[in-house]
Amino acid sequence: MNLPVIVLGARGMLGTDLMECLRRRNIPAQGYDLPELDITNAGHVESVVGQAKQIINCAAYTNVEKAESEAELAFRVNGRAVGQLGRQAAKRNIPVLHISTDFVFDGMLDRPYAETDAANPLSAYGKSKYEGEKALSASGCRFCIVRLQWTYGRAGTNFVKKLLDTARAGKPLRVVDDQVGSPTATREAAEIVCRMMELPMSPEGIYHLAAKGYVSRYEMAQFVFETLKVGVNLNPCKTSDFPSAAKRPLNSRFNCGKLEKLLGTAMRPWQEPLREHLEQV
């Protein structure tokens, strides 16, 4: 029987692009999301794990601000449920590729983060995602953790969409210039995840995935509006100018050398996929 790849969180930003990528590559795939699959429901998880050749887990609680007041829910979805998924997969020797985040780091390093750097999340969201990483690694399953950052895509809410919505409303924009990272298209991330799955041996361990090069949020916003030739009242500010419930890492830069070595190719510069995305939207 030709078992499918199971994608959890299939209608989210990354999940949508993953499902399209799998179909383009003629990889049998089945996607699940709320309400038909709740990753915190052991019965739901058991029913789909038994159908799978491999599992890609994109399901997550992602509201960084609300996680501070809904920490129990964030830890249940991002932490305990991931461990439960891993234990179910271990029983059947099914590999799990799990999506994590740059928020597992505190952003205090003065260089890009490698997979071997110690995690020290600042927020409830980051702590819940790190809890999921630890729970998966302790579950006994064959696992691969792919950490992403600054993602944008056609589905869901993201920084690029918020910029464009604010500009269309004619409102002035203040964007932080002290948070630095790599804008990463979910379409690019999906292609790389599919390539990882097609390798002769399923990769295991932790990998950092981000576009090549680094930029501040403010510089990213400048690029978006200059590319679209949109006039907007855009001004730089500091993270401290925005009181928020959740703390965010100022340095989200990733060292992607481990993944580049695995695939034998370099990441694309962040400007190229972002320009392509803007042409489509």
Going residue by residue through the chain, which has 281 residues, state the pLDDT in tens, using 9 for 90 and above: 578 999 999 999 999 999 999 999 999 999 999 999 999 999 999 999 989 999 999 999 999 999 999 999 999 999 999 999 999 999 999 999 999 999 999 999 999 999 999 999 999 999 999 999 999 999 999 999 999 999 999 998 899 999 999 988 888 899 999 999 999 999 999 999 999 989 988 899 999 999 999 999 999 999 999 999 988 999 999 999 988 999 999 999 999 999 999 999 999 999 999 999 999 88
The answer as to whether 103 is a domain residue is yes
The answer as to whether 169 is a domain residue is no
Domain with 206, as residue range(s), is 5-158+183-212+253-269
The answer as to whether 281 is a domain residue is no
The angle at the Cα of 133, spanning 129 to 139, to the nearest 5 degrees, equals 135
Place of tokens 């930003």: 13
The answer as to whether 126 is a domain residue is yes
SS3 content of the chain, % helix, strand, coil (to 5): 40, 15, 40
Contacts of 14 (CB under 8 A, 6+ apart): 58, 99, 148, 151, 153, 186, 189, 190
The answer as to whether 227 is a domain residue is no
pTM of the complete model = 0.96
- Tell me the catalytic residues: 125
How many domains does the structure of the chain reveal? 1
The answer as to whether 265 is a domain residue is yes
CA distances from 107 to 23, 248, 250 (A): 37, 8, 5
The answer as to whether 164 is a domain residue is no
The answer as to whether 235 is a domain residue is no
